[in-house]
Amino acid sequence: MQITAVVSPKTTFSRQIVFAVCLICYIGGGLVSTLMSVYLPVVVRDLMGGVSEAELGRVGAYIGSVYLFGWMLGGIGFGFAGDSIGRVKAFTTAVLLYSVFTILTGFSTSWAMVIVCRFITGIGVGAVLVLATILVSETWPAKTKNIALGILAIAFPIGIISAGAINNLVSNWREAFFVGWIPFGMAIIASLVLKESAQWTNMRSQARLQTKPSSFSLLLEPAHRKNVWIGSLIFGAMLVGLWAIFSWMPTWIQSLFPSQTSGQQERGITMMLLGSGGIIGGAISGFLSNTIGYRKTLLITFAGSFVMCLILFTTNTVFSTIIYLETALLALFFGISQGTLSAYLPQLFPTFIRATATGFCFNLGRLATATVVFFVGTLVAVLGGYGNAVLAFSVTFVIGFIVTWVAKDVKISASEGNG
């Protein structure tokens, strides 16, 4: 089936423009998502003075949880907006939102102000990750769509690497958050060069001729309900463990050093390795899922993630370079999972509910994640350290493995998504 491009129909260049804009904004999402993690010990102590490990864990949990709640609301709310007012309008607004409030984070004078800024930043990032996936999914040919979405998925870990690099280069955390000016510029560019996809335009034209229930109510219809819950459970199971690790890895690394050691370089390198492994995993995810299928690929990633968490967090009580290798291998499985899920979830649903359904699947898991991550500070005290607390969250990988095991491998027709 002929693919109609988003910017200028029937041109490969048009698809490349869409992909490039989505890729850069996706990178920005990964960057601003993890920037707080790498600077968290510095930010909290700068705003609150000397704090105990338990207090740092408590405040860090608040900051991380509200960010994820915002991410969830943005993904679901802007997914609905993308179906209603258009992918491009919603996408541009979301990029503008997360860029502005990333900049404002750098001007925060209290940790409460940081929480507000991070909440709104999360709304924007959650929306961008859903809408960028939809834009590329509706633009790319079916034959190579999985590969394109796998490459898009590596944008987030590129952002993670960028956050680690900024941590190594910029010691002042306030200056680091001024990186938000980059996605701000991209929001302006996106508003000028992107046009709505042919699929969305055609869907809106047909909708004017007939009355349909809202896309939210359609999610609960028998034809879509099963895929909604399968997608939500699988994505949520991976996200809970992934986010706990990405959020608390730098703080765990810091806890492996004597109190007088900064650990700044090691924190930065670890985050860069998390990103690098994610890039490689995302890059190969499309080829892997095309070869062995979504289900087998996801089973491998859940099993691999759980095993690597056991090794990483149970065998290291002081910092050593072996942590770098173990972190990179763990990130490889994360990257494969994110690339596979980015290709898998949008194709489960028809055009008229795709953004809403994908946003729902992506972000129902984030609701669970935000809720459980909120208790990391308590788990640190109860379980005796950040490593044990983070390891507790890896149980979700076992849950994800079980759900994937009982789920059927969904077969997608060659024409799906090309309309």
Question: What is the rounded CA–CA span in Å between residue 281 and residue 287?
Answer: 10
Nearest to 274 by CA among 75, 38, 36: 38
Question: What is the rounded CA–CA span in Å between residue 2 and residue 121?
Answer: 37
Question: What is the rounded CA–CA span in Å between residue 197 and residue 5?
Answer: 7
SS3 91: helix
Which position has the token pair 């979830």?
345
**Do the domain assignments include residue 228?**
yes
> Structural domain of residue 329, as residue ranges?
12-197+211-406
Q: What is the pLDDT of residue 274?
A: 83
Question: What is the rounded CA–CA span in Å between residue 163 and residue 30?
Answer: 8
Which position has the token pair 């994937």?
404
Q: Which residues of the chain have pLDDT under 50?
A: 1-10, 412-419
Is residue 159 within 8 A of residue 31, CB to CB? The reply is yes
Nearest to 357 by CA among 133, 153, 139: 133
**Do the domain assignments include residue 202?**
no
Q: What is the pLDDT of residue 414?
A: 45
Q: Which residues neighbour 161 within 8 Å (Cβ) at sequence distance 6 or greater?
A: 271, 272, 275, 276, 279
Q: What is the pLDDT of residue 100?
A: 96
CA quadruple 70, 35, 89, 226: dihedral sign: negative
Q: What is the pLDDT of residue 178?
A: 94
Question: What is the rounded CA–CA span in Å between residue 334 and residue 327?
Answer: 11
pTM: 0.69
**Do the domain assignments include residue 205?**
no
Q: What is the pLDDT of residue 223?
A: 64
Nearest to 66 by CA among 120, 133, 20: 120
Question: What is the rounded CA–CA span in Å between residue 354 and residue 365?
Answer: 17
Torsion of CA 29, 31, 32, 37, to 10 degrees: 130
Question: What is the rounded CA–CA span in Å between residue 179 and residue 241?
Answer: 27
Is residue 28 within 8 A of residue 99, CB to CB? The reply is yes
Helix axes 386-393, 376-383, angle to 10 degrees: 120
Nearest to 414 by CA among 142, 146, 139, 199: 142
Q: Cα 355 to chain center, whole Å?
A: 16
**Do the domain assignments include residue 418?**
no
Q: What angle do CA 325, 330, 336 make, to 5 degrees?
A: 125
Q: Which residues neighbour 74 within 8 Å (Cβ) at sequence distance 6 or greater?
A: 94, 97, 122, 123, 124, 125, 126, 127, 363
Neighbours of 255 (CB within 10 A): 19
**Do the domain assignments include residue 285?**
yes
**Do the domain assignments include residue 112?**
yes
The 10s digit of each residue's pLDDT in 268-287 is 888 888 878 878 888 888 88
| DSSP states of 191-250 | HHH----HHHHHHHHHHTTS----HHHHTTSHHHHHHHHHHHHHHHHHHHHHHHHHHHHH
Q: Cα 330 to chain center, whole Å?
A: 16
Percentages of the chain per state (helix, strand, coil), in multiples of 5: 80, 0, 20
Question: What is the rounded CA–CA span in Å between residue 208 and residue 210?
Answer: 6
Q: What is the pLDDT of residue 119?
A: 94
Question: What is the rounded CA–CA span in Å between residue 41 and residue 325?
Answer: 24
Nearest to 170 by CA among 321, 29, 322, 31: 31
- For position 135, which CATH number holds? 1.20.1250.20
Question: What is the rounded CA–CA span in Å between residue 23 and residue 324?
Answer: 27
Domain count, the chain: 1
| DSSP states of 246-308 | HHHHHHHHHHTS-TT---HHHHHHHHHHHHHHHHHHHHHHHHHHHHH-HHHHHHHHHHHHHHH
**Do the domain assignments include residue 257?**
yes
**Do the domain assignments include residue 5?**
no
